[in-house]
Amino acid sequence: MEFKVNSGAWGSMFGIPCIVADNFLKLASEAQIKVLLYILRNNNRMCSTDEIGRAVGITAEQAEESLIFWQQANVLAESSDSANKSSENNIMKTPVKSKSETSEIKPSPKPTAIKETSSGGLKLAPTEIAKLITQSGELKGLFEMAQIHLGALNHTAQKSLIWMHDYLGLRADVIVTLIAYCASINKTNISYMEKIAYSWSESGISTFEQAQDEVNRMTEARSFVYEVMKSLEMKRNPTTKQLEFIMEWKSKGYTVPLIKYAYEKTIEQIDMLKFEYINKILINWSSCGFKSVDDVKNSELEFKNSKKQSESSADASNVDKYKALINNF
């Protein structure tokens, strides 16, 4: 099915810069598109951010952020008049730079000596991001897959993806695996994802198979922590130190039932949750070769039986001594 604009039905029309249609339909958010359309429609007069916000259904702050986005993309420019009237919060629209001018923009050079731990210091304008996407099919595919898990990508998210791909050197399928994992646990904030991405880069995770193995390991560890928290009747997330204990127990092969039994013993002795006390019990059991709750309980039963036998032997010995004493009279 084909469509065409019914210009006769709507009367006057206004133009949209080609760079917007070519490069920003996916990159720009809904609010940013709305703001730009309103600005272009009213390009013969000054518009305040309050007016724009009311017209398109967003706050004045969101309108200002959208205007800054288009300024950084070289689609809008602030006029000298509006600069002199900053208290009135007015923005003047000027024509967009030509495609030939924007094509000369080059992204910031990649760091070589020091690997940054986040994308915070990465300076990339929207036009630079758009250019990088048009130049790299893998990067374009990464953005499309990321949007499936994260929704519309704001400028910060776009920079983060480029940082992971171009600066950390992670492959697109590795980054998508990372994003999918973070989405599965509802932790898609940029700082959290970048922390994992940096860790993967430092650990040499460079293939989809390695990324999937790491996700499986992280999922298993997360499940173990949750089960331990449940067994210890914890109502809040563990502290860093407590989490270190839990991961140490996992690395030593302590099972959740064994940890729970050690917790029950701790409550019997000191009537409070104390990781250090639980840890000492587990270490003691491990040194005795106990690997399960049954091992511990069997040992406890043997100890009780031997104690009874010892007490019985002591009683029998006392009776014999008493009889011998009586017989001497």
The full DSSP string for 11-44 is: -------HHIIIIITTTS-HHHHHHHHHHHHTTT
pLDDT (tens digit per residue) in 191-206: 999 999 999 999 999 9
Number of domains in the chain: 4
Q: What are the residues whose beta carbons fall under 8 Å from the beta carbon of 136, sequence distance 6 or more?
A: none
- Mean pLDDT estimate for the chain: 80
Looking at the domain assignment, is residue 217 inside a domain? no
Judgement on whether residues 246 and 311 belong to the same structural domain of the protein: no
Looking at the domain assignment, is residue 199 inside a domain? yes
Looking at the domain assignment, is residue 110 inside a domain? no
Looking at the domain assignment, is residue 88 inside a domain? yes
Write the CATH number for 149: 1.10.10
Judgement on whether residues 282 and 305 belong to the same structural domain of the protein: no
Judgement on whether residues 283 and 314 belong to the same structural domain of the protein: no
Does residue 115 contact residue 168 with C-beta atoms inside 8 Å?
yes
Domain boundary among the residues 40, 74, 96 is at: 96
Whole-model pTM: value is 0.60
Compute the average pLDDT of residues 256-280.
94
pLDDT (tens digit per residue) in 71-114: 767 788 766 554 444 433 443 333 344 334 334 434 444 444 34
How many whole angstroms separate alpha carbon 172 and alpha carbon 177?
9
Looking at the domain assignment, is residue 111 inside a domain? no
Does residue 282 contact residue 259 with C-beta atoms inside 8 Å?
yes
How many whole angstroms separate alpha carbon 175 and alpha carbon 157?
13
Structural domain containing residue 241: 233-291
Looking at the domain assignment, is residue 91 inside a domain? yes
Q: Tell me what pLDDT residue 69 has.
A: 75
Judgement on whether residues 134 and 199 belong to the same structural domain of the protein: yes
Looking at the domain assignment, is residue 112 inside a domain? no
pLDDT (tens digit per residue) in 51-64: 998 998 999 888 88
pLDDT class of 312 with cuts at 50, 70, 90? low
Judgement on whether residues 283 and 317 belong to the same structural domain of the protein: no
